[in-house]
Amino acid sequence: MGAMKTVVIGLGNPILTDDGVGIYAARMLERVLPPGSGVDIVELAVGGLGLMEAMIGYDRVILIDAFWSPDGEPGRVLQFDAGHLPDTLNSASAHDADLPTALRVGRSLGAPLPADDGIQIVAVQARDVLTFGQVPTPPVAAALPLAVSRVLDLLGCRPVVDPYTLSPESFWRL
């Protein structure tokens, strides 16, 4: 049997301060992932049905995203699977389905999607996901190497460059 087809999806909006952390982490991961790892890396600014469509055909998905709750500690890195999604400001939208609903719809239509335990989420606790800005807050920026290290651990990969030696500022580009 061949290797599992894996995608890492960096989610977020890079013009909304901390909401861009998933995008920035995906860019950092591209820099440190060993060549020939066989892992696809995607930047995505949509959730719900658009996110579900990006998962079709993969055996395993790792999502990197901002996580916001009013009593959370900014910069804290959390890890869980899609079966244990916490309720946060950015887990649902009035204009689209939330991720669990989108996955149910896709599966009911026969889309080849991984099981919930094949969808891991690495989330960085955000301080500000509502203010326009192209740079995350200091605690979220400081958490980028840890988030990338968690993804590398999930992938079972050793980095070609230590993420802690990289300057997070080099990943803020639009």
Domain with 90, as residue range(s), is: 6-171
The domain that holds 31 is classified in CATH as 3.40.50.1450
Q: Which residues pair with 6 in a beta bridge?
A: 39, 60
pLDDT digits (tens, 9 = 90+) for 151-173: 999 999 999 999 999 988 888 87
pLDDT digits (tens, 9 = 90+) for 105-149: 999 999 999 999 999 999 999 999 999 998 999 999 999 999 999
Structure-block tokens of residue 110: 């026969």
1 domain residue, yes or no: no
Helix (H) or strand (E) run with residue 100 in it: helix 99-108
Q: How many domains does the chain have?
A: 1
54 domain residue, yes or no: yes
87 domain residue, yes or no: yes
pTM, to two decimals: 0.91
